[in-house]
A and B are shown apart, each in its own frame.
Chain A
Amino acid sequence: MNAANPTLGDPHVWLKRQSRWSPFEILFWLAALLPFFLFPTYLTLASQVAIVALFAISVDLVLGYAGIVTLGHAMFFGLGAYAAGIISVHGWGEPLTGLIFAGAFAGLIGFIVSFLIVRVQHLALIMVTLGLGFLTLELANSMSWLTGGADGLRGISTWPIFNQFRFDLWGYTAYSYSLIALFVGFLISRRIVHSSFGLSLRGIRENVTRMPAIGSDYKFHLRKIYTISAAMAGVAGALLTQTTNTVALDSLSFQRSADVVVMLILGGTGRLYGAILGAIIFLIARDQLSGVNPQYWYFWIGVLLMIVVLFMPKGILGFLARIAGRRD
């Protein structure tokens, strides 16, 4: 991905060409509607996949594009989940405003945290994200008067969307709702990564010391994308709360932070669809395999991770793109 390639001329033209919709993408989003007709019994799972895919996209923005290795992004997912749950318990169960509130809250915390994140790099960065993740988990655990502690939050009820569509048992509403949210989040992310802001993020990822030299305030860019990503993760968390009517501490756990990074790597970082594909593969495989022998699920995930890192450093999508001979 070389933006300054002279043969392509004006960078804005180049960006526009990059952001054109390919037929594959339209096909992909049409295929996302298939579960309604083909697997109506699996709509709850499909809704989970859409939620986690949105979360994975939010991580892709900071990890895949801006190069911030984070092992604590579940903190924003969980903050959003709890924010949506807590206002619902206190008498406001309207889903859309709940979603916006949760996103804004997670984004606000993300904005504050981003000032800390840009100060550190390498191992210290990983440890600060990890530490902040654990910090939030412990905080939620000890503030049981607000969060319900280890028992989880009880008494969440989500009102019908627009007073029309109730969240039904089969997940028709849940999947439609999550899918629309995922699509909107995807459109926003797609716009971001194909903008000049997105290009400067890639510049930071490739060489952070060179960015100030060409006059780019990289810390400002990093703070911006981190805040956006935190808000998006918060929305994903809120979606999970509203579609399942439960929040528990596991929404903040390290496991969730690690799982989402694993999905991202499996699918391929820095290409948005990698995040979605990773979430699909991970959750469907877990759904199918954990029935067989749940203990060894992580054995295969571990093996898969090692293989992907050694032989497919750009993930499954990157691997497929290379086989297809397409330019990255």
Chain B
Amino acid sequence: MINQIVIVLFDGFAFGMLLFVLSVGLSVTLGLMNFINLAHGAFGMLGGYIAVLTMRQLGLPFLLALPAAFLAAALVSVVFERTLFRRLYKAGELNQVLFTIGMVFVAAALATYFFGTVQQVIPLPSWLRGSVEFAGMRFGVYRIFIIVVALAVTAILVFGLERTRLGAQIRASVDNQRVAQGLGMNVERTFAITFALGSGLAGLGGALAIEIVGLDPSFGFHFLVYVLIVVSVGGLGSITGSFVGAALLGIGDVAGKYFVPEIGSFLIYLLLVAILLVRPRGIFGKR
């Protein structure tokens, strides 16, 4: 029983870390620009397909496909940000929601057109396959890898936000955009860079997710709900919040489906509504 609980906790935490990488970008961009970007999951999907393509067509190893996914998602997203999204920053939330949902529809249809509806698989390097045994329990190596990557991402993000010039600019813009602008900061540029980084992380998450949950054209939709839960429960613009929210959701999801499969997802949504009613700005939300 103890072993089962530990394994569920481990798998859940690994899944949560995957969700963290997928959603932390949205949390920061939402906190920064108040732009509800439902297409965030679609950038994750883009990253996933880029990883599949680069490995299959160019023969890149898995460890190089990950940065490729990051870069592709970041580049594409910054093009969209500069040409389309920026026109909607001042628009109402309904228009933002609908525009980005429209993008998800288009992305899903394009993915179907180019790749079909089949689940994509990628060959993992042999050192990422299998599992290691510890104290009588088997832990998947790939899940350990995800946790390590996510922790590294967290460390880089925290360090970047706390210690670098760009990080200070992002924090200032999140706290008070007008004052930041008044002090002569180029808030627009900060927006664009943050948006690219956040979407790039989503792309990385999408590439990492293929092995765990698979990749098909419905990815953007399917993960949208998870990503939104993480962001809204954790609180906008808070890395700690996203981390805790993602870990909670991952563990809750895996544990719910393992122990009470009948009502597992029901409990998740119940918890989501309950948390938002008590703390509408999320657990760690400031504004």
B88-A309 in contact (CB<8A):
yes
Q: A130-B225, A309-B88, A310-B99 are known contacts. Are A124 and B105 too (CB-CB below 8 A)? A: no
When chains A and B are docked, how far (Å) is the Cα of A131 from the Cα of B265?
A: 11
The distance from the CB of A296 to the nearest CB of chain B, in whole angstroms, is 5
CB of A128 within 8 Å of the partner chain: yes
A306-B103 in contact (CB<8A):
yes
Interface pick from A89-97, A114-122, A154-162, A180-188: A114-122
User: Secondary structure of the A side of the interface?
Assistant: helix
CB of A301 within 8 Å of the partner chain: yes
CB of B122 within 8 Å of the partner chain: no
A126-B225 in contact (CB<8A):
no
The distance from the CB of B42 to the nearest CB of chain A, in whole angstroms, is 10
CB of B75 within 8 Å of the partner chain: no
When chains A and B are docked, how far (Å) is the Cα of A265 from the Cα of B100?
A: 13
User: Secondary structure of the B side of the interface?
Assistant: helix
When chains A and B are docked, how far (Å) is the Cα of A291 from the Cα of B265?
A: 34
A135-B103 in contact (CB<8A):
no
* Chain A residues within an 8 Å CB radius of B103: 302, 306
CB of A139 within 8 Å of the partner chain: yes
When chains A and B are docked, how far (Å) is the Cα of A128 from the Cα of B228?
A: 11
B105 in complex: contacting residue of A116, A132, A269, A302, CB < 8 Å: A302
CB of B2 within 8 Å of the partner chain: no
B30-A310 in contact (CB<8A):
no
CB of A123 within 8 Å of the partner chain: yes
CB of A145 within 8 Å of the partner chain: no
* Chain B residues within an 8 Å CB radius of A313: 91, 95
Q: A132: nearest residue on chain B (CB-CB)?
A: B273
Q: A299: nearest residue on chain B (CB-CB)?
A: B109
B266-A121 in contact (CB<8A):
no
- Interface size of A by CB at 8 A reads 41
B101 in complex: contacting residue of A119, A124, A138, A258, CB < 8 Å: A258
A120-B276 in contact (CB<8A):
yes
When chains A and B are docked, how far (Å) is the Cα of A175 from the Cα of B91?
A: 39
When chains A and B are docked, how far (Å) is the Cα of A262 from the Cα of B101?
A: 9
CB of A213 within 8 Å of the partner chain: no
* Chain B residues within an 8 Å CB radius of A298: 105-106, 108-109
Q: B87: nearest residue on chain A (CB-CB)?
A: A310
User: With contacts A142-B262, A261-B98, A302-B105 known, what are 15 further pairs, Cβ within 8 A?
Assistant: A124-B232, A126-B36, A127-B232, A127-B276, A131-B229, A265-B94, A296-B113, A298-B105, A298-B106, A299-B113, A302-B102, A302-B106, A302-B109, A305-B101, A306-B106
When chains A and B are docked, how far (Å) is the Cα of A119 from the Cα of B275?
A: 12
Ordered nearest first, which 5 A-B pairs have the shortest CB separation? A302-B105, A305-B102, A299-B109, A302-B106, A138-B266
Q: B229: nearest residue on chain A (CB-CB)?
A: A127
CB of A63 within 8 Å of the partner chain: yes
CB of A272 within 8 Å of the partner chain: no
The distance from the CB of A132 to the nearest CB of chain B, in whole angstroms, is 6
* Chain B residues within an 8 Å CB radius of A71: 97
When chains A and B are docked, how far (Å) is the Cα of A302 from the Cα of B217?
A: 14
The distance from the CB of B38 to the nearest CB of chain A, in whole angstroms, is 9
Q: A139-B266, A258-B101, A301-B105 are known contacts. Are A131 and B95 too (CB-CB below 8 A)? A: no
Q: A123-B36, A296-B109, A299-B110 are known contacts. Are A134 and B269 too (CB-CB below 8 A)? A: yes
Interface centre among A131, A132, A262, A298, by most chain B C-beta atoms within 10 angstroms, is A131
Can you give 24 contacting A-B residue pairs, CB < 8 Å?
A69-B93, A119-B277, A123-B231, A123-B232, A124-B232, A124-B276, A128-B273, A130-B225, A134-B225, A135-B266, A135-B273, A142-B262, A142-B266, A254-B225, A298-B106, A298-B108, A299-B110, A301-B102, A302-B102, A302-B103, A302-B109, A305-B105, A309-B91, A310-B99
* Chain A residues within an 8 Å CB radius of B281: 124
The distance from the CB of B286 to the nearest CB of chain A, in whole angstroms, is 14
B265-A309 in contact (CB<8A):
no
Q: A123-B30, A313-B95 are known contacts. Are A299 and B106 too (CB-CB below 8 A)? A: yes
* Chain B residues within an 8 Å CB radius of A306: 84, 99, 102-103, 106
Q: Per-residue 0/1 for B60-104: is the Cβ within 8 Å of any A Cβ (1 yes, 0 no)? A: 000000000000000000000000100110010111011101111
* Chain B residues within an 8 Å CB radius of A265: 94, 98
